[in-house]
Chains A and B, each alone.
Chain A
Amino acid sequence: MDRHSRCAGVARRAVPFALATLAALASAARVAAHAGGVRSATRETVTVPTWLFLATGGAVVGASFLLASAVTDRTYVRRIDGWGRALPDAGRVARFLARAVGIAALAITIVAGLFGPTSATDSAAVLIVWVGWWAVFVLSAYLLGNAWPAVDPFRAIAGAFPSLDRPYPERLGSWPAVAGLLTLVYLEVVTPMADDPRLLTALVLGYLGVSVAGSVAFGVDDWFGSADPVSKLLAAYGRVAPVTRTDDGLRLRLPGMGLTDAAWVDGRDDVGFVVAIVFVTTYDGFVGTGLWTDIARPLVEAGVPALVVYLAAMSVGYGLFLALYLASASAARRTADTYLAPGVLARRFAPSLLAIAAGYHIAHNLATALSLSPTLAVVLTSPLSPPATVPALLVPGWVGGVGVAAVLGGHLLAVWVAHSVAYDLFPDRLQAIRSQYGVTVAMVAYTMASLWIVSRPGGAPPFV
């Protein structure tokens, strides 16, 4: 299964829908699209130049900021944010079942990965990790709620070992998780991990080893609460979901409103993790574009190992993303005329980016989740010797449109979350509006960059 070409295919199919959605949102575009349709006298999609496509995307985000600023009723903003119902906690049976499913999935992954078929579409290991977990489970984490702490087989296994309970170094914070996340995505890009069940299983076993070592050293709660990249990633995505865990137990809220809480991003390291989540999506797409081939070719031809070039691009790119985000957040100190520390502003506005990240995750993975779920189900019936022909759902073209709608929806949610946070932070409503200038510019730039990547004909990363 070539994830890259699949993404690229979805992206290419999605572009006309992107245009349609953007056009529908910006009614200016809608009128012009009709005019274009009449001129060419066909019912084909209007082709617009890339720059106009990007500008429209940016303008939609900018316009939604202006529209959100029109909502100036403090009580209303707070009511939207605070709406919710308490939910009953999951019972012991549900917890036990979740744990059993997690451990069974890990066991099947390892056994099928080591001894099962070696082709990607027949391998239960590849399908469980990329379809069952990365597409479907992560999707559920931000659309429903994060169940990973209950399912997590790594945590269950690591918890069974005795721990030395060394104190977790406070100053490391979430940085090990940042490094872990970047490493996982780096390995996913430079190795054929999506296609090779043996390699994938080796990585899963390595990950299990690191998890066990970490929790033996520092205790299972400290390790999985601070340093484990997968737990942190799913916890962050879970903040977008309508079901969130609060101090008083599970709570049903409006989607994305878990992002306005102040407490859970409590340091620069957590800001770094949120930016890493946003960055890795972009990196994964960018290395498939022609621009990246053009940048990397002279370096690779000059004898620099491709792995080093990829690593350098990742470090430089991440540093750039983090610096730009911190700059845009601390711009709020000037535009809003406040004495709030730059770090506080960066922490409070960072979670809004997760809504955007969730939108891109849908766009990249919805088609995979739909088309390969039946494959996964059939292969699971007999992981070691799957049937000769496995079914795959033929995904209709409009699913690409759902993906683009999700990208836009994520941006709109992010704009609202930033609005809501600003109203919580500042006593003056005009100050609250001005505080969002920097973050809005960052969001517009990010939208345009991402739409550019989506509109390129993508392929597998070159030279590796």
Chain B
Amino acid sequence: MSRVDHSPADARDPADDPYEVPPDATAFTCPRCGRPFARERHRDLHLGQDHPDLDDDERAAYERAREAESDDLRRFRIVSLGMLVLLYFGFLFLYAIAA
């Protein structure tokens, strides 16, 4: 996969900036490559994934962000499982009635 958008070298090239931060918004910028994120968690995760040389604080922040991410993912999985079950039985009944 081409990771053109992710390489730090061109991430802040003003001619081809893939980011658009609304003027009144707070951005959490990456201290290494300057990319703006809407949430602290996104920035911490980005640091852990794209920059290998983290200091202790950044590593701790990354671990925390990963845990929060995993919790949210677990919640999403439960909701999506619920939706699949709903779809399944919804269609079961629809077919039983309509077909």
Interface, chain A (partner B; CB < 8 A): 26-29, 31-33, 35-36, 46-49, 52, 55-56, 59, 62-63, 66-67, 69-70, 72, 74, 78, 81-82, 260-263, 337-342, 344, 348, 420, 424-431, 433
Flag if B88 contacts A46 (CB, 8 Å): no
Cβ of A427: which chain B residues have Cβ within 8 Å of it? Answer: 37, 42-43, 45-46, 49-50
Size of interface on B: residues with Cβ below 8 Å to A: 45
Flag if A26 contacts B73 (CB, 8 Å): no
How many residue pairs at the A-B interface have CB separations less than 8 Å? Answer: 124
| Closest Cβ–Cβ distance, residue A453 to chain B (whole Å) | 21
Q: Which of A27, A32, A74, A427 has the most CB of B within 10 A?
A: A427
Flag if B91 contacts A56 (CB, 8 Å): yes
| Closest Cβ–Cβ distance, residue A59 to chain B (whole Å) | 5
* Contact A49/B98 with A338-B38, A428-B41, A430-B73 known, Cβ cut-off 8 Å: yes
Flag if A59 contacts B99 (CB, 8 Å): no
Cβ of A62: which chain B residues have Cβ within 8 Å of it? Answer: 87
Flag if A32 contacts B1 (CB, 8 Å): no
Question: B9 at interface (Cβ–Cβ under 8 A)?
Answer: no
Interface of A is mostly: helix
Flag if B19 contacts A340 (CB, 8 Å): yes
Flag if B99 contacts A46 (CB, 8 Å): yes
Subset of 8 A-B contacts with CB under 8 Å: A33-B99, A261-B2, A262-B3, A262-B4, A340-B19, A426-B42, A427-B45, A428-B39
Question: B15 at interface (Cβ–Cβ under 8 A)?
Answer: no
Cβ of B65: which chain A residues have Cβ within 8 Å of it? Answer: 428
Flag if A52 contacts B99 (CB, 8 Å): yes
Task: Identify which of residues 32-89 in chain B touch chain A, using a CB-to-CB cut-off of 8 Å.
Answer: 36-39, 41-43, 45-46, 49-50, 65, 69, 72-73, 76-77, 80, 83-84, 87-89
Interface of B is mostly: helix
Measured in the bound complex, the distance between the Cα atoms of B72 and A330 in whole Å is 23
Flag if B99 contacts A344 (CB, 8 Å): no
| Closest Cβ–Cβ distance, residue B10 to chain A (whole Å) | 11
Cβ of B8: which chain A residues have Cβ within 8 Å of it? Answer: none
B17's closest neighbor in chain A, by CB? A341
Flag if A70 contacts B46 (CB, 8 Å): no
Flag if B69 contacts A66 (CB, 8 Å): no
Flag if B98 contacts A342 (CB, 8 Å): no
Flag if A48 contacts B98 (CB, 8 Å): yes
Measured in the bound complex, the distance between the Cα atoms of B5 and A463 in whole Å is 49
Flag if A28 contacts B2 (CB, 8 Å): no
* Contact A28/B69 with A263-B2, A341-B19, A344-B18 known, Cβ cut-off 8 Å: no
Flag if A59 contacts B27 (CB, 8 Å): no
Cβ of B99: which chain A residues have Cβ within 8 Å of it? Answer: 32-33, 36, 46-49, 52
Given contacts A28-B91, A82-B1, A339-B27, 13 further A-B contacts (CB under 8 A): A26-B87, A28-B90, A31-B92, A33-B95, A36-B99, A48-B95, A62-B87, A66-B83, A262-B2, A262-B5, A424-B3, A426-B42, A429-B69
Cβ of B6: which chain A residues have Cβ within 8 Å of it? Answer: 424
Cβ of A431: which chain B residues have Cβ within 8 Å of it? Answer: 42
Cβ of A55: which chain B residues have Cβ within 8 Å of it? Answer: 91, 94
Measured in the bound complex, the distance between the Cα atoms of B69 and A431 in whole Å is 9
Measured in the bound complex, the distance between the Cα atoms of B25 and A35 in whole Å is 56
Question: B13 at interface (Cβ–Cβ under 8 A)?
Answer: no
A246's closest neighbor in chain B, by CB? B2
Cβ of B5: which chain A residues have Cβ within 8 Å of it? Answer: 262, 344, 348, 424-425
Flag if B80 contacts A29 (CB, 8 Å): no
Flag if B87 contacts A59 (CB, 8 Å): yes
* Contact A263/B91 with A33-B99, A339-B19, A339-B27 known, Cβ cut-off 8 Å: no
Flag if A52 contacts B98 (CB, 8 Å): yes
Please give me the 7 A-B residue pairs with the lowest Cβ-Cβ distance, nearest first: A32-B95, A427-B46, A28-B91, A28-B92, A427-B45, A341-B20, A48-B99
| Closest Cβ–Cβ distance, residue A162 to chain B (whole Å) | 35
Flag if B2 contacts A340 (CB, 8 Å): no
Cβ of B37: which chain A residues have Cβ within 8 Å of it? Answer: 338-339, 427
Measured in the bound complex, the distance between the Cα atoms of B6 and A340 in whole Å is 12
Among B1, B25, B42, B94, contact of A428 (Cβ-Cβ < 8 Å): B42
Flag if B38 contacts A339 (CB, 8 Å): yes
Flag if B1 contacts A424 (CB, 8 Å): yes
A261's closest neighbor in chain B, by CB? B2
Among B4, B41, B73, contact of A72 (Cβ-Cβ < 8 Å): B73
* Contact A337/B39 with A63-B84, A69-B80 known, Cβ cut-off 8 Å: yes
